[in-house]
Amino acid sequence: MGPKQPPLGEDSIFFFFFYFFLLFEFFLFLYRYSLKSG
């Protein structure tokens, strides 16, 4: 038996928002760091 892919539903939507939040925090950190150094 191979790995089961989760169906498109609440889990995928939650993962999408979680991933988007991580990217947003990362870019916000880079933005603050560039302002502090520059």
What's the confidence (pLDDT) of residue 7?
A: 62
pLDDT-flagged residues of the chain (< 70): 1-3, 5-8
What amino acid is encoded at 24 in this protein? F
Q: How far is CA 36 from CA 22, 24, 28, 33, in A?
A: 21, 18, 12, 5
Structure tokens at 31: 């933005």
Amino acid found at 29? F
Q: Alpha-carbon distance 9 to 15, whole Å? A: 10
Residue 21 has a pLDDT of 97
**What's the angle, vertex CA 34, arms to CA 31 and CA 38, rounded to 5?**
145
- The predicted structure's pLDDT at residue 33: 94
